[in-house]
A = this chain, B = another copy of it.
């Protein structure tokens, strides 16, 4: 791994712990065993290091969500599709809660994701742009994903009718809330996992069309 990437990695680590203003160029250079002057051979300024971390994470985030949504049917508004009914019709409360938890567990334990999320959280008011990015990344995109799932589930008759966007907000707002607790208080991870599982099951119970 080259020096530039090592710098970005260490800077992210520091920024996510102590924030932009709380991190000095020496804080970044010292753990890497280089002097702070050397940093300026790779980056013009401290701000540029920060910006590059944001830009890099933006690419990673886009790749991640492209892979995640690639399996959605293209014929979004079209008639009911047989394989959709097959796929979405047999989603169970356990299946749904397990796939949600798999996603959440990865998101919470992956060190890179954790650090980027932390850095964004404590930098979200630094500029309007960062605030909008935060919302887009950690709320809108998740909700958009869930919305598409619920749209399918409604279409195939697996859950009751309702605005898929409202349902998605109800579904993932709670999950996001528990992820926040999990981030702030890692000791409560198990409690959060349990609460998310109960939430998904309760949600499934309230929306499912099983008795139809």
A207 to B: closest C-beta gap in Å: 7
* Chain A interface extent, by class: 35 or more
A19 contacts which chain B residues (CB < 8 A)?
A: 19, 21-22, 122
Q: How far is the CA of A19 from the CA of B184 in the complex (A)?
A: 18
Given A21-B18, A139-B177; A170-B202 close (CB under 8 Å): yes
Residue of A18, A121, A173, A203 most packed against chain B (CB within 10 A): A173
A-B contact pairs, 10 of them (CB 8 A): A19-B19, A19-B122, A122-B124, A122-B125, A135-B181, A166-B198, A167-B202, A173-B178, A176-B177, A206-B206
Point out residues on A near B: beta carbons under 8 Å: 16-22, 118, 121-125, 128, 131-132, 134-135, 139, 162-163, 166-167, 169-170, 172-178, 180-181, 184-185, 195, 198-199, 202-203, 205-207
Q: A134-B184, A169-B195 are in contact. List 20 more A-B contacts (CB 8 A).
A: A18-B21, A21-B22, A121-B124, A122-B122, A132-B184, A135-B181, A139-B177, A139-B180, A139-B181, A166-B195, A166-B202, A169-B177, A170-B174, A170-B199, A170-B202, A173-B175, A173-B177, A173-B199, A174-B174, A176-B177
